[in-house]
Structure 1
Amino acid sequence: MTLPPRSLYAPALVGAALASTAASLARVPALWSLAGLVVILPLIGLVARWSPVRSGSLAAALGIVAAGLWPAPLVRDDGASWLEAFGAAAFWALPGLAAAAVGAHLRRNASRTRRAVRDAQRDQQLELARDLHDFVAHDVSAMVVQAQAARFVAGTDPQQAVRALERIEAAGLSALASLDRTVHALREAGGGPAPAPAPGLTELEWLVGRFEGRTVALEADQEVLAGLSREADTAAYRVAVEALTNVRRHAPGADTVRVTVRRSRQPDRIELAVTNSPPPATPRTSFSRRRSAGDGGGTGLAGLRERVEAAGGTFAAGPTGAATGGWRVSAVFPARATSPG
């Protein structure tokens, strides 16, 4: 098994430093010691850049001492004082210190680069996890709800069961499309083609249209929809997806769900809001609530808040004030500036 060259830098420097120091103390001609300095200085830089901190520090210190001692024979021959000898050693140690500083600087830059790459990879992983949560979880929850509905009506109304199965098929295809976008994003990270753009509020009507089984009201002005930046548009769509998913999971059987996109009371702001009425207090609802309480990872709303704030908006979620427990999720984004004329 061959050792990698980097593991040899510190031993090579220690050997060269000891040999140079011994030559200086043995009054070897100074020219030979100077030749050794040409070898020692690059090794100091390489050790400071690549070697482990503990062994590298010891080897670099020996190399700097050797660099300072190489002119010792010349100083002795000239009859210089101890002060002059010390000054000469300090002067010739400076190149060794400079080589160590260069190596340490390169090491620090490499460490920062690795840390930045790790942070970028972690951010990408979190982004992919949010994509899966925002879109796939929405479609899977729709499939679960429709499967439950089909089970309850299969014996009495087969036609309704068939419609539920059709909706399950549509939700499954949508989940596959979301997974396909995630795979494309992974391929892009590996140098592949760019993934398809994330959906925005232009697909809000389609999203609401699939939310069957209860009264869903959509109020959205197309002019208002066009007033969001791409980042805010994507974030707003994710808010709508997560809010509707939570209605399915935490408020099954809610009579009404209202989705609105409108100008906010604040100037130059656009608000998306999803409000649902309280679910009926039935044993089946309670069972669904118990199930959904343990199903979620607890990161949906927190992830939405981060995404909305990253797009320059504000996020809020909480009860509507009704004693029976309605809920409202809203996100307010800055309107995109439009050029005059």
Structure 2
Amino acid sequence: MVRRAWEWWRGQRILVDFAFMLPLLGISLLMIPQITGPSPLGEPAPGMPTPPNEWACLALTLMLCLPLALRRRWPRGVFAFVALVSFVQWLVGIQALPANLAVLVAMYTMAAELSLRWAVAAWAVVELGALLEVLREVDSRDWDAHRDMFLSWSFFVAAWWILGVYIRTRRAYYSSVEERAERAERERDTQVQIAMAAERARIARELHDVVAHNVSVMVVQADGASFAIETDVERARRALETIGDTGRHALAEMRRLLGVLREDDDAGSYAPQPGVEQLADLVEQIRSAGLPLEFEVAGVPLELSEGRQLTVFRVVQEALTNTLKHGGPRASAQVRLHYGDDALEVRVTDDGRGAAAPGDGAGHGLVGMRERVAVYGGSVRAGPRPGGGYEVVALIPVREETRV
């Protein structure tokens, strides 16, 4: 409860600045009677500032203090206004008031909120104002005293200015620390997802091997049973039993491996595998991760089997993941699908580090790509580009081949 109230309070910038302005306004109002009352020294000397009347002092105090409630909303405007009011006050010969400290507060805000150029400009304006105020009171007999006064004011102004610059520098440092922490957290999550994807790819390859082996056994046994069913019933019966046992074994293996693949999967147990149509979502996901990316499709799109579509998706995903890992902070990438008469060419290029990218020796992405594409009789070529960057080109046949 207290934390939420504090967070709400910090978000009300105008209200907070108004609260911090109230002490200066209160002190300035309390000192008005002392400033406007009769001086114990009598009338001021010629050329010296005259004490203002009560209404003029009240107006100046309000004009100098009230804008401070907006100092962080419009720091330049507030500083310019209070500096202009102080300059007009100096021109008409009215002595300095406690409310003139508002100029220092506005200068501090400029130094804490804006760039160093604006901070230096604000400091120069305040120093000029202090010099003008001192010069108005100088005569030939007490220049040394006024010089010491000017140096004291200069030191006081510099202290406020340095405090503002320090606050701005500290905020920038904490902001960069938070940004690095968020980036490290995102990279850690990405590494976890990459590791999970690699493990699932390995399990998927195992599933392919299990299914391919068992289905091959079942096909051979079914062929044998069909030939022997009329001449050797016992042999046909054993073949059918073998088919049943092999099928149950294959189903058990598939359930086990698919259970691992679907563990903690938010997409659900019956979510379809991604294909070519999901490449647009993948491209947007990679763009949101900070990688500039172009996506292009050339040729007439062909009807592809679900397995081929999954292979295309995984090749693009793995290539873009490698770009994110090794391309560098300023890399950009391009994904191009070219539909030919007999094959689909998938080309993923980037302009990152290329051959200069450090390898961690733990990746098997290219191996997985080649295995996936080789299932359909295709090929994968991957390596650094001559002009810099990296390129992955996969050629996937689109016509089914009958294998004996």
Band the TM-score falls in, shorter-chain normalisation: 0.3 to 0.5
Higher relative CO (Cα under 8 Å, sequence separation at least 6) belongs to 1
Larger Rg: 2
TM-score (norm 2): 0.38
